[in-house]
Each structure stands twice: as C-alpha cells, then as structure tokens.
Structure 1
Amino acid sequence: MERQFHFISGLPRSGSTLLSAILSQNPRFHAGMSGPIGGAFNTMLGELSGRNEYSVFVSDEQRRRLLKGLFDSYYGSEYSADVVFDTNRAWCAKMGQLKELFPQGKVIACVRHVSWIIDSIEQLIRTNAFQPSSIFSYQPGGTVYSRAEGLANGEGMVGYAYNALKEAFYGDQTDSLMLLRYETLVSSPVRAIAAVYRFIDEAPYAHDFENIRYQADEFDLRAGTPGLHTVRKKIVARERTSVLPPDVFRRFENDMFWLDPALNPRGVWVV
C-alpha cells in the first residue's frame, strides 16, 4: 500500500510540535517538528523555473514527479510509518501543489490567539537572555517593540505564516484544510485529536495524554532558543500573565479571523 502523506502547518507557537508528539504515539504514524522538505520544495520549484536556462527541457509532469520524489526519497526505508505528517509553515501557501501531488492529503493548520504567539516568543527570548536567537538572526539588540514588529511583518516568522494561513483559508482547496486551535488542543485534547482522526479518515487510537514525549534539545540549542520545541509530559492548560506591554498585546487581539463565522464563507472546519 502506498504511504499516505498529510501536512501540519499554520501559525508558530500554536501546538504543531505538541500535535506531532501526540500523533507519533500511534505506531502507524510518523510526525515531527518542521523539517527540510518545505525549503527543498521551494528551492526545487525555483530551480525548475524559467530562471534556469535548461527549464525548456522540463515538463510539468516531470516537475510533479521530481517534487513528489522529494517526499518519497526523504521518508524512505528509514521510516516505517504508513502515514507521514510533514510539518512546515509554508504548506498553507502550497495548497494547490499539494492537492495535485497528494490528492488524498490533508493539511492541519494549528492556530492560536496571535497576541499569545508574540508573547510566547518574547518569553523565550527573555528566558534565554544570554543566547541570541536564530528567530532574530542572532542579533542581540532590539526591544520588545522591534521584535514584535519584526515577527508580524509579511516576511516575519508570524506574519508570513499568518498570510499563508489566510491564503489557504480563502483558497480553492479548503476541503483539504482543517484549523486546530491551540486552546482546544491543550484544554480538550481528546476532542481535538478525535477531530484530526475524523478529518484524515483514520481509525481512532488510544493516545496517552499524560505521557507525551518529544525532544529536540540539540536543535533548539543550536538555534539559540532552548525550549523552542519543548513539550511537557502532561497536557495541561496553563494561565499566566502576558509579558508583553499592553499596547503590543492589544495590537494583535482582533486578528483571529477564524473565530468569526461571517469570515468563513467556505465553511472551513475549525476545531
């Protein structure tokens, strides 16, 4: 049986690593943090475009085979899973290509209150005060205001993902898209994961939500951001006070378009 591919995308700091850690408990599944396939996909698209003088010899069918081959080659015999979830924030901006390459594939976009995403990143930066982060190109300067601005602009870590999410949400492949709220995942994990299984048409599996395991300490350390992919053993919704100045927090508090039914004309499933 051909291996099934699905995709985890959406906003950063919104539960994608936690979702992957949970799904990986199922022996039929493989899921992890963001990997290299998204970047390789974009690079290959560029190299096969008109900017390469030899692109005249490449047909669209060859492009499809080469791009699909990235997944088949990367997830080779080293991975025994029948179902693979590849994670990358760029997938929301590639819904059309993914639909052609993987007609049965689904995209699960993790979302969260944008103010709390900015807050979560700022908290990480403050926790690792002596380690400049790759999130800000290892630059040690800046303020909470410049960091929030950099994250939110169109090329920033949050802004790019937010725009890609809206492109998918209002695009033509919404039958392949589900939005999973971070707030639901941490407060009602049983309901959240049950919805994922229904969406991808897989038989339910008895997950252990009090014994979650995931580790990427070496990656996080090299990125200058220890704790970036930390997943707690037990899923618990935690309340705390934001570290952001009030004006920065308020700037993003109305950006959750997915909560307004009037802004969901295609009826995207939001859990």
Structure 2
Amino acid sequence: MLIYNKTTFQEGYNAITELDGVHSQMHMDFGILKLSRGAVFHSKEAKERAFLLMDGSIAFKYANKKNIAMRNSLLDELPHVLQVPKGAEVTLVAHEDSELCVQKAINNTDFEAVYYAPEHIRQQRFGEGTMQDSSTRIVRTVFDAKNATFSEMVLGEVINFPGKWSSYPPHKHPQPEIYHYRFPDAPSQGFGFGQVGENVYAIAHESTMIIDPWLVHPQVAAPGYPMYYIWMIAHTEGEKFGPNSRQFVDEHAWLLDPKVKIWKDTRSKE
C-alpha cells in the first residue's frame, strides 16, 4: 500500500511506521527527523537504530565519538549513516536545517556503533547492459547481511533514472520492505508508479510504500523526473536479506540475459 504525506513534515520526529502501532507488520519503526539549525536531538531506547542524513549538516555524537556530516544532494552525493545498538546514547546537533531518515528494529545483539561515511557505502549500477538499458539505476547499500551480520535491518538508497524502471525484473523476498520517495529536482510535480502485488500506485514526493513479504514491487519513474527512494528491510527469523536474496518472478527472469532478443523499432525515420 502507499502512504501519502498530506502535510509538510514538522520539526522533530515524524513517525510513519511503528513496531507497536500503525503498520506494525513491517517490524520496523520508520520516520523522518526534521531539525532546524541549532536544534539538538537525543536518542536512547531499547532498539537498534540507524540515522541516515538526507539533507543539511549534522554532528553525530555517540560512544565518546563525534562525526560531522554534510549533504546537499540526494542524487549526486552518498549518505552519511550512523547505526547503533539498543541502549546506546546518540546526540544529533544540527549545524544547518537538516532532515534524516530514522529506522529502528528490535535487536538484542550487542555491537559497536558503526559510522558509514560515503566511501564505506556500496554503490552499484543495476540493470546496465540488459533490457535495452530500460532499467539501469543506481543502488546504494549502506548495510545488509553481507556487511552487518549483527543487524536486524537493511538500509539503502536507489536512484531511479527518469523514464526507467527499478526493482526490475519484478522480484520478491520473504522480508517486509519500506520505500520512501523523493523527487529532488521537481518535488511539486515529479511522479512515478509502483506495483505491490496486483495493485499499482501513483508515487508522489514524500510518499511511502509499504511492501508486505512475498509481494512483487517493480517501480518506474516518469520521463523527466529522477526518482530517489530509501529502501528499508527488516530481517525475518532465519531469513536475513543479502545481495542474493531477491527472487525474480519466473515469467520475467529471462530478461536478465544480456543476449536476449527484444523487439526494436527499425523503421526508417522520415
């Protein structure tokens, strides 16, 4: 299903999904944290947490450490992310007006806090060289089962090129997933479409997609509008999500072959 943000996010933490409340079937808390310049935000709770900087400048203070991060572009710059275990104290100080994605999950494993600078983040071009490059996109993975075995969450970003597809060919997995969308170059009119199971939704700036386990979820951005989205997954018992966890729908998996023949209009142009 799709959730629209009917009003502008307010100062402070804006909850979208809740472990013990709305959309609890996602098994994660997810929200947007807005901090005006000079604001201070404290976090300490019995959950694993990840703070992803979307825009602005933030001082991350944790475990007697301090990292100062700045980000001006969702499309052209990779994020800074802080991941901490349950009980850890975190203080965020906004040096400029800032916006962050906050993800939380139940995790009783104790681990050291991890700070992911842009150079630590895995960035790949998916779909390149296949399907006439109609689904080429940038996929950024901050952490998953490959590099964060201690975590109960997965966090990343996708840059869906204008007029192209992502999460394609259609795939599914046993874990619940959340997509949160932005249209950085055209927030008022940018749009795309997303399918969840048999339902198709029109995607707008600041909307959120709730994807239940085992439902396919291909996406497409309208021509002219680059579509950015954060993707968040909660691991399920015995089923941790990693690079090879996507299960492509059988009837569309043939498209993954780079040598596959796809119809192309060869008529002369007059």
TM superposition score normalised by structure 2: 0.23
TM superposition score normalised by structure 1: 0.23
Normalized per residue, the structure richer in helix is 1
Select the structure with the greater relative contact order (CA < 8 A; seq sep ≥ 6).
Answer: 1
Normalized per residue, the structure richer in strand is 2
